[in-house]
Amino acid sequence: MSDTKKLFVKTYGCQMNVYDSERMVDALGADGFETVETPDEADMILLNTCHIREKAAEKVYSELGRYRKLKEAKPDLKIGVAGCVAQAEGEEIMRRQPLVDLVVGPQAYHRLPDMVQRTDNGAKVIDTDFPEEDKFDHLPRGPKARRAPSAFLTVQEGCDKFCAFCVVPYTRGAEVSRPPERLLAEARDLVERGVVEVTLLGQNVNAYEADGWRLAKLIREMARTDGLERIRFTTSHPNDMGDDLIEAFGEVDKLMPYLHLPVQSGSDTVLKAMNRHHTAEEYLRLLERIRAARPDIALSGDFIVGFPGEDEADFRATLDLCAEVRYAQAFSFKYSARPGTPAADRAHVSEEVKSERLARLQEMLTDHQMAFQQSMIGKTLPVLVEKQGRETGQMVGKSPYLHAVHFQADSTMAGKIVQVRVEGSERNSLSGVCV
Ligand code: SAH
Ligand code: SF4
Ligand code: F3S
């Protein structure tokens, strides 16, 4: 009998969960697990979950429900819940879904191999502590497998901002930044495995601060890594956007001209009720300074419509702000009340009004996205070739502005940066020809 156990991991939520899932696969890989593509082949299923909106959390329970038959057929099958639902709901998950053997919060992943072992004799295991030690220090490093050209790298985690709608400060804990030397080493390691572009991740990535280094310095030093061609970072908070970071956009060639800088609302009343600590005007002036440093920068944002207390005039202020900024890309959501957050107990905007506002906002945001894509037609852009496209003989890559770009090329081009003349724009991508 072989010792290899089969692990199926399903990841929900933000990019940090993608990074964390990779680390958990590494940790369990050192313990004899190899990953499989479907849950029915697995000896262990791990859901890395998201709690940001009600729908995200509910998805997890419907997925778990689907595993009942699998577990009946294979009683040894282990089912684990990781991530932000694990942190927020803890043992409640096992009460609601007794199939679950293991619940592990985002700060306890380094203990996962040990936890899995403890489930072997049928025990239910929970760990949602926020330990003092850095989980990344304790995670085993995987074999030096080849990687896709673009990778995530978590540099900061947690949030001290406590926006009135948001669960993240409760699920991820307080802001912690990882030491710069380790991050530079991890970047070098990624490059050795074929990575050309890294996206530095943090819930408040621009609040990064460790050993006296701020994010701008980390980016400048990382840019000296041979073979690393592109650096991005996400997600930033407007109040942490320092002059040093703005300058870096103008001075560091490898730092890509794209910035995700969520504002959530264009109304000062709503911003205040959200506990965002800045006005719409301050945000717009900040964007002016960023655009002065890097005129071609593509901006992206997040919006919440129907926050408690938002009236039609507040909502129009959001539309006005969007009309002024003209985002290259933006994400918008209906407010979802999250248990335990300050806004959850306030008087809510009706579902119909939320839906109607979301549709109006998305119409404008889509128009702007399309206009930005159209403005690329005729331009020649450096594109990082990533993977096979939809059709044979086609590859898809990434523009500096984060567009997916389709063009004719063969798979040996993966990992290279090629010049592509843009000829077409579709709903969520560009197409062109190599020049
Ligand atoms: N750290 C990031 C965002 C994390 S969550 C930041 O500060 O911007 C990603 C996005 O989800 C948020 O920007 C917000 O637009 C949205 N979001 C967060 N909580 C939400 C809620 N309760 N209801 C609806 N959308 C929410
Ligand atoms: Fe949530 Fe606000 Fe922190 Fe972003 S800054 S993670 S929205 S509390
Ligand atoms: Fe979701 Fe947690 Fe990320 S709530 S958005 S997975 S930090």
Tokens of 338: 């999250």
432 CA distance to ligand 3 centroid (A)? 35
Please report the atom of ligand 3 found closest to the CA of residue 172: 7
Q: Give yes or no: residues 13 and 41 share one domain.
A: yes
Please report the atom of ligand 2 found closest to the CA of residue 302: 7
152 three-state secondary structure: strand
Spatial contact of 104 and 112, defined as CB atoms under 8 Å apart: yes
**pLDDT for 351 beyond 90:** yes
Q: What is the pLDDT of residue 397?
A: 98
Q: Give yes or no: residues 288 and 384 share one domain.
A: no
Q: What is the pLDDT of residue 140?
A: 67
pLDDT digits (tens, 9 = 90+) for 379-398: 999 999 999 988 889 999 99
Q: What is the pLDDT of residue 3?
A: 72
Residues with a CB atom less than 6 Å from ligand 1: 52-53, 165-166, 168, 203, 235, 237, 262, 264, 302, 304, 333, 335-336, 338
Q: Give yes or no: residues 100 and 248 share one domain.
A: no
Per the DSSP assignment, residues forming a β-bridge with 56 are none
Q: Give yes or no: residues 310 and 388 share one domain.
A: no
Q: Which residues contact 254 (CB under 8 A, 6 or more apart)?
A: 223, 228, 229, 230, 231
Q: How many domains does the chain divide into?
A: 3
- Where residue 378 falls (left for φ over 0; alpha for ψ -120 to 50; beta otherwise) is left
Q: Give yes or no: residues 79 and 126 share one domain.
A: yes
177 three-state secondary structure: strand
Spatial contact of 362 and 208, defined as CB atoms under 8 Å apart: no
Q: Cα separation of 168 and 235, whole Å?
A: 13
Segment 292-319 mean pLDDT: 98
Q: Give yes or no: residues 191 and 329 share one domain.
A: yes
pLDDT digits (tens, 9 = 90+) for 192-225: 999 999 999 999 999 999 999 999 999 999 999 9
pLDDT digits (tens, 9 = 90+) for 148-184: 999 999 999 999 999 999 999 999 999 999 999 999 9
Q: What is the pLDDT of residue 2?
A: 54
204 CA distance to ligand 3 centroid (A)? 12
Q: Which of 343, 358, 374 is the last residue of a domain?
A: 374
Q: Give yes or no: residues 359 and 409 share one domain.
A: no
C-beta of 83 in contact with ligand 3 (< 6 A): yes
Q: What is the pLDDT of residue 275?
A: 98
335 CA distance to ligand 3 centroid (A)? 15
Please state, for a pLDDT cut of 70, what percent of the chain lies above it: 98
Q: What is the pLDDT of residue 136?
A: 75
- Where residue 107 falls (left for φ over 0; alpha for ψ -120 to 50; beta otherwise) is alpha
Q: What is the pLDDT of residue 1?
A: 42
Q: What is the pLDDT of residue 141?
A: 66
C-beta of 168 in contact with ligand 2 (< 6 A): yes
Q: Which residues contact 279 (CB under 8 A, 6 or more apart)?
A: 268, 271
67 CA distance to ligand 2 centroid (A)? 33
Higher-scoring residue by pLDDT: 110, 50 = 50
166 CA distance to ligand 1 centroid (A)? 6
Q: Which of 134, 166, 193 is the last residue of a domain?
A: 134
Q: Give yes or no: residues 76 and 187 share one domain.
A: no
Segment 97-124 mean pLDDT: 93
Q: Which of 374, 395, 411 is the last residue of a domain?
A: 374
C-beta of 16 in contact with ligand 3 (< 6 A): yes
**pLDDT for 66 beyond 80:** yes
Going by alpha carbons, the residue nearest to atom 12 of ligand 1 is 302
Q: Give yes or no: residues 63 and 147 share one domain.
A: no
Please give the residue range of the domain that contains residue 60.
5-134
Q: Cα separation of 193 and 195, whole Å?
A: 6
- Where residue 424 falls (left for φ over 0; alpha for ψ -120 to 50; beta otherwise) is beta
Q: What is the pLDDT of residue 142?
A: 61
C-beta of 278 in contact with ligand 2 (< 6 A): no
Q: Give yes or no: residues 369 and 414 share one domain.
A: no
